[in-house]
Structure 1
Amino acid sequence: MGIFILFIGAFTVKADTLEQQAQLSATPNFCLTDDQFNYCEIDLLLTWNLVNEELVCIISDYQTIPRWCSDDPSVKSVKLTIKTDKDIQFVLVSKNNNHTLAGVKLKITKAASQQVRRRYRNPWSLF
C-alpha cells in the first residue's frame, strides 16, 4: 500500500501561450510531386489570426522567398507563388519587435512511383 498526498494550492496558469495569441495557417499545407517533376509549383495562401491587431511580417527558411511585411493591421492574409523541392517553414513575427507569434510548415511529398510487376515464374518453366 502506498500513501498518496494531494496538495491543493493556488497555481496560476499563464494563458498567454503562442497558440492563443496568434495562429498561422497555409492553404494548401502540402504539395505532391511526381517522378517527372522533382519540384512543386504552388499558389500558397497564408492566413493568420491575432488577438491584438498589429503589424506583422512573414519570414521563411527558403532563400528565394523575401521577407513580407504588412502596412495595415487589418490585412490577415498573403498569397505567394512558390516553386520548391523541399519543405518550407513560415514564421509570423511582430513587425515592431520581431517576436515570433506563430509558425506553419509547407510539406513537399513525393508521390510513390508505380512499381513494375515482376513475374514469379521463370520464362523457361515447363509447368
Structure 2
Amino acid sequence: MFFRYCLCFILCAFNSAGVAAQQKAHFQLAPAVCMVQNSDDVCQVDVNFEWQIKKAEDVCILRDQTPLKCWQNATEGRFSYKADVQFGTVYSLVNRKTGKQIASAKIKVQSSNTKSQRRRLRTPWSFF
C-alpha cells in the first residue's frame, strides 16, 4: 500500500513538471551585453532575436511596449534589429491577442571607463 502511494506521488510530480516544461518558451537575444566608453554614452548594436514556443500563436517582440516585429500563427522566429541602447533595455515576447508576456530578455550596458574613487585611509576625525 505504501509503495502505491509513493509511486503515485512520484508519477504525479513528474507529470506536473512535464506540463511546466511544455509551457516554457525559448527567447534569446545576442549580444546580451553592450560595451560603451563612458556610462552616459549610447550603445549602437545589431541585436539578433531568436524564439521558439510549443504551441502556434500570434506573437510580437516588444521594446518598452512598442512592437518591433510580429508573427501570425507561428512557433518560431528570427529577427535582427539595430538598437540604440543607453540603459538596460528589456525586450519581451508577447501574445498579440491576449497581451500576456511569454518570455523576456535584457541587454545590459557596461562602460569600460568606470570612475574609480580612492578610499580614505584615515577617518575624517583622525588627528594623525
Partner residue in 2 for 1:10: 9
Alignment CA distance shift 1:94-1:114 (3 Å) = closer
Question: Percent identity over the alignment?
Answer: 18
In the alignment of these two chains, the number of paired residues is 106
Report the AA paired with residue 79 of structure 2. V
Q: Cα offset for 1:46?
A: 1.0
Superposed CA RMSD in Å reads 2.8
Q: Distance in 2 between matches of 1:104 and 1:19?
A: 19
| Contact persistence 2:40–2:86 (CA under 8 A) | no
TM-score normalised by the chain length of structure 1: 0.67
Deviations 1:71-109 (A, max 9, x none): 462660121111121011111111232222111111111
Q: Distance in 2 between matches of 1:16 and 1:87?
A: 32
Higher helix share: 2
Partner residue in 1 for 2:50: 47
- The farther-off stretch of 43-52 and 67-76 is 67-76
Q: Distance in 2 between matches of 1:19 and 1:29?
A: 25
Report the AA paired with residue 60 of structure 1. R
Q: Cα offset for 1:36?
A: 8.9
Which runs of 5 or more residues in structure 2 are unaligned? 117-128
Deviations 1:6-54 (A, max 9, x none): x946263423337853110001111000039711000101110111222
Partner residue in 1 for 2:90: 89
Q: Distance in 2 between matches of 1:84 and 1:34?
A: 13
Q: Secondary structure at the match of 1:10?
A: helix
Give structure 1 regions of 4+ aligned residues with deviation exceeding 6 angstroms.
none
Higher strand share: 2
Which runs of 5 or more residues in structure 1 are unaligned? 1-6, 116-127
Partner residue in 1 for 2:24: 21
Q: Distance in 2 between matches of 1:82 and 1:35?
A: 18
Q: Distance in 2 between matches of 1:18 and 1:58?
A: 22
Match of 1:58 among 48, 57, 61: 61
Q: Cα offset for 1:113?
A: 4.9
